[in-house]
Amino acid sequence: MLKPPVDQPEPRSTDERSIGDLVNQLVDDGKAYARAEVEVVKAIARAKAGGYKVAGILLGAALAFGLAAMAGLAVGVTMALAPLVGPLLAGIIAAMLFGGLAGVLAMAAIKRIGDAP
């Protein structure tokens, strides 16, 4: 029985690619996969944003109506105080009252932002 010599390498087939070609293909495939994942995330974000758009519009309308209600309340407080202290002082008292309330709410919000992780 004849055995091939040990020190001679086996002939290389012509359909094998070099390590460099395989690494280049791996990098290209990785980039394509990453791009596809980014596109999936973008599509999910667009789908979620569409649902939040209507909620945002409704929240903006609620904010506008809330501001109108607060303005009406301020006018009402001013009118209620006007016979007691005069219209100018009633306006000043109402402005200080609602301005102070706004300041307290703003400070509470700033404290919560500072406590957030």
At 1-55, the pLDDT tens digits run: 556 555 655 555 556 778 888 889 999 999 999 999 999 999 998 888 877 888 8
Does a structural domain hold residue 11? Answer: no
Q: Which tokens belong to 76?
A: 């009402």
Does a structural domain hold residue 81? Answer: yes
Does a structural domain hold residue 78? Answer: yes
Domain range holding 52?
20-115
Number of domains present in the structure of the chain = 1
Does a structural domain hold residue 96? Answer: yes
Does a structural domain hold residue 15? Answer: no
pTM: 0.51
Does a structural domain hold residue 5? Answer: no
Q: What is the DSSP string of 45-75?
A: HHHHHHHHHHHHHHHHHHHHHHHHHHHHHHH
Does a structural domain hold residue 2? Answer: no
pLDDT of residue 53: 81
Cβ atoms of 90 and 74 within 8 Å: the answer is no
Q: What angle do CA 68, 74, 78 make, to 5 degrees?
A: 145
| 57-78 pLDDT, tens digit each | 888 899 999 999 999 999 999 9
